[in-house]
Amino acid sequence: MPIKKIIPICILFLLSCSFYAIGYTREQLEIFKLNLVDGSEPKFYFVKLLQGSHIVIYDKDGNKKQSIQPIFPDNEDGYKKDKYQLPQKYRQSFLTASGISETDNLFVYNYEYNKLYSFPISKLEVFAIGGDCLPTDEKYYLFGFALALNQLPQDYDPNDTTFVYIGKESPFAQEQLTLLNWQKISDKEDNYLAQAHGLHYNLWTLGKSPWYPDYYPECAGLVVKNDKNKILLDEVLTQEYSLLPLNGKDKDHEYKKQWTGKLFKNKPLVVFGCFSIMGCPVIDFIDSPFSKFDIKLHCINKNNWVAQ
């Protein structure tokens, strides 16, 4: 039976590519998703790192050094399963291609409750999983790590407030982030204001439409200012972004999307959750030479398994 439902949880995977700028360590942050796979038994969490049957290894100059295909040379069932375990003989090649070591750890950080969990990579199995479309060969599978449900607390809520890092040490500052509390500006119907860390977060929406009578406000732009009215961040909706709902409640849901604070050690303050790309929240550094392009998003479109 093919996997029917994938519930995304945003995760963070940090690769080292360091130089220094204004007292902060500058590194490219690569964000991946942790998915709850609940369309088959047993349910499990999945961290996608590679797509398709090619495991490609590059040398230090960026030239292709090795390419392994296929991963399942002895597959005789016509790819009818939705889950395969990676053969042990390919594990090291997978880790090398992913930039991961057996001595690394996988850190799961829930920033809503400021809880951190860690798992040695050496203890995690690598799997390939298929999507809603019946796979015909290996290029339709996603390769990554699996976590059993019991590896996280029993009451762990698979929502959008989890990031994950893979490396030697956790990069998370573990300083409680602030959920932005939006207040409507009385003289501007579609504008909202929130305050945190001595800063003013000014947000506007597209407003209600007669075609959508049950419209719930969604972010269309964000400006962050300090107490001297200096603009520290100006982020607007672009064609590549998807809108996200404002924090709050409608008749069916409670939304906790927009957060701000010190997420990483040796990094400036961030704000995220106004927009998304392929399901991952766009993270912006505030008053910083860093830009959102310092954060590379690797996400899965759960509807058609298009990976970015």
H/E stretch holding 250 reads: none
Do the beta carbons of residue 166 and residue 95 sit within 8 Å? Answer: no
Give pLDDT, residue 278.
75
Give pLDDT, residue 267.
85
Give pLDDT, residue 304.
42
Q: Reduced to 3 states, what is the DSSP secondary structure of residue 94? A: helix
DSSP assignment string, 98-127: HT--TT-EEEEEETTTTEEEEEEGGGPPEE
For the chain, what is the mean pLDDT?
A: 78
Give pLDDT, residue 16.
36
Which residues of the chain fall below pLDDT 70? 1-27, 31, 52-60, 62, 64-80, 131-139, 158-160, 187-189, 208-213, 290-294, 297-308
| Count of CB atoms situated within 10 Å of the CB of 282 | 23
Strand 19-21 to strand 270-277: parallel, antiparallel, or no bridges (unpaired)?
unpaired
Token duo for residue 164: 């994950």
Strand 19-21 to strand 24-26: parallel, antiparallel, or no bridges (unpaired)?
antiparallel
Closest CA to 283 of 220, 235, 247: 235
Cα–Cα distance, 164 to 47 (Å, whole number): 9
Enumerate residues 6+ apart whose C-beta is below 8 A from 271: 180, 201, 222, 224, 233, 258, 259, 260, 283, 284, 286
Instruction: Name the one residue in this structure whose structure tokens are 């404002």.
Output: 246
Give pLDDT, residue 279.
75
What are the angstrom distances between the C-alpha of 46 and each of 33, 100, 250, 296? 8, 16, 30, 19
Do the beta carbons of residue 24 and residue 156 sit within 8 Å? Answer: no
Give pLDDT, residue 37.
84
Phi, psi (5° rounding) for residue 16?
-85, 125
Do the beta carbons of residue 137 and residue 143 sit within 8 Å? Answer: no
CB burial readout 152-186, b (16+ within 10 A) else e: beeebebebbbbbbbbeebbbbeeebbbbebeeee
Cα–Cα distance, 36 to 156 (Å, whole number): 12
Give pLDDT, residue 302.
53
Do the beta carbons of residue 118 and residue 174 sit within 8 Å? Answer: no
